[in-house]
Homo-oligomer: A and B are copies of this chain.
Amino acid sequence: MDDTFSALANKTRRQILDYVKNNPACLVNDISNQFAMSRIAIMKHLKILESANLLVTEKVGKAKHHYFNVIPIQQIYDRWTDEYSRFMASRLTGFKNQIEQELKDTENEPKQTKKCS
């Protein structure tokens, strides 16, 4: 999970994900041609994305095909909607009201701190 957050923290890597999503089966060179930086730099980003399982690859001869994998993003999505579900739900009622509600409800409730991934 930490790998996923780290991988997504870099703008170039998010752009790579966007590109691969829109160009399934694309090659290393296809990807690196989209960016100003060198192919080596892109390959490092690809390695990080692949380690985070955000990209999966298939080697066919000398060609390496890349595919976007949404599952780690879904896992983050699930994490946040679990951790912050009340806040996500609050989109219907507004943040301010929710904070006021929390402060009001505070006295008779137990503290609970959840572990972080």
Contact = CB atoms under 8 A, between A and B. Distances in A.
A37 B4 CA distance: 24
Contacts of A88: 70, 74, 77, 99
A14 B116 contact: yes
Task: Give chain A's interface secondary structure class.
Answer: helix
A116 to B, nearest CB: 4
A117 interface: yes
Nearest to A70: B87
B73 A84 contact: yes
Contacts of A36: none
A81 interface: yes
B22 A111 contact: yes
